[in-house]
Amino acid sequence: MNVLDKIVEQKKKEVAEQKVQTTVDALKATDGFQRTGISVVERLQANNSFGIISEFKRQSPSKGIINDSADVSEVTKGYCDAGASAVSILTDEQFFGGTMEDLKRARPHLDCPVLRKDFIIDEYQVYQTKSLGADLMLLIAAILTKEEVVKYTDLAHEIGLEVLLEIHNEEEYNHCYYEKVDVLGVNNRDLKRFKTTIQNSIDLAKILPEEQLKISESGISSIEEMKLLQTHGFKGFLIGESFMRTEDPAAELEKFLSK
């Protein structure tokens, strides 16, 4: 069983427990569910946008502890202030050291959109994502069927969430792409072996719809790489680890953008 399979098995157990603890009706009654979202699409398409989605991530299965002392509210607010188009917050606990409370705690301090980064395998989590105060929800093609992508995307749109569909290869694109997703992300990291190269985005760009808003995720460590990806049609860039490995991730983002 690879890492991704283990994560999905654990997620099934967690979601089953969460459904018992909190009903969908209770999720709908939260302040987070009632708030009006901020459009990630509009931020990425803005003329003055750098297109960076800065990530708050404490650890990963492949790299272990990345930064377990940073404060989620302080770092994500710093990201927004430094010029991030959006922030990404990991809410998976067992494998990435995040919590749903991280997103709930950070949200009131932010004036930019928030991506909930987790492993969505059940429509319950769509309602949950909205209740946490997120603006954008991640769907990972590697763990979903086309029918699930369609179902979760349509539901997300009904309740005011935008959707990022993440693919890793051409097979996943052909299998799961749904033209109504708001953003299509190409993950440069192989989730089975956890190896990374931005060449993956460059290669896949040749077959992706030109009109689709696209972002490149993982392994981007320089402005030069970002500019190269822009020439291949990418409007956004999810960057986290290179910032989070420093004492002041927001200052590192500011330094990155000033180059």
3-state secondary structure 10-37: HHHHHHHHHHHHCCHHHHHCCHHHHCCC
Taking the CA atoms of 192, 197, 200 and 205 in sequence, report the sign of the dihedral they define.
Answer: positive
Active-site position among 54, 130, 162, 166: 166
The catalytic residue among 57, 104, 130, 235 is: 57
Annotation says 218 is catalytic: yes
From the number of C-beta atoms within 10 Å of its C-beta (0-12, 13-18, 19+), residue 228 rates as middle
Least confident of 2-6, 31-35, 93-97, 164-168: 2-6
Average pLDDT (10-25) is: 97
**What is the per-residue pLDDT for 194?**
62
117 an active-site residue? yes
Averaged pLDDT for residues 58-86: 93
- Count H helices and E strands in the chain, helices first: 13, 10
Catalytic option among 77, 104, 117, 130: 117
What is the pLDDT at residue 191? 59
CATH number of 3-257: 3.20.20.70
pTM: 0.95
**Catalytic residue at 2?**
no
Contacts with 117 (C-beta within 8 Å, 6 or more apart), sequence order: 55, 57, 88, 89, 90, 91, 92, 96, 98, 138
Mean pLDDT of 106-122: 97
pLDDT of residue 192: 60
Q: List, in sequence order, every residue forming a beta bridge with 196; answer none if it has no partner.
A: 189
> Where is pLDDT greater, at 47 or 214?
214
Over residues 195-205, the mean pLDDT reads: 91
The lowest-confidence range among 13-17, 60-64, 201-205 is 60-64
Given the residues 187, 188, 200, 201, the one annotated as active site: 187
61 pLDDT band (50/70/90 cuts)? Answer: confident
CB neighbourhood size of 208 (10 A): 19
pLDDT of residue 105: 97
Q: Confirm whether 55 is a catalytic residue.
A: yes
pLDDT over threshold 90, residue 155: yes
**161-192, pLDDT tens digit by residue?**
999 999 999 999 999 999 999 999 999 986 56
Question: What residue spans of 64-198 are helical by DSSP H?
Answer: 72-82, 100-106, 123-131, 146-158, 170-176
pLDDT of 103 over the 70 cut = yes
Q: Which member of 55, 172, 241, 252 is catalytic? A: 55
| Sign, Cα dihedral of 39, 248, 238, 121 | negative
Write down the mean pLDDT value for the chain.
94
The ranges assigned to domains in the chain are 3-257
Tokens of 68: 């377990």
The one catalytic residue among 60, 67, 88, 218: 218
pLDDT at 221: 84
Host H or E run for residue 183 = strand 183-187
Better-predicted residue by pLDDT, 38 or 48: 38
pLDDT in the model for residue 259: 73
Tokens read off for 79: 């990201």
Per-residue pLDDT at 207 exceeds 80: yes
Residue 170's alpha-carbon distances to 5, 8, 12, 41, in angstroms, are 20, 22, 27, 23
The one catalytic residue among 217, 235, 241, 252 = 217
pLDDT at site 63 = 81
Average pLDDT over residues 243-248: 93
Q: For residue 39, indicate whether it is catalytic.
A: no
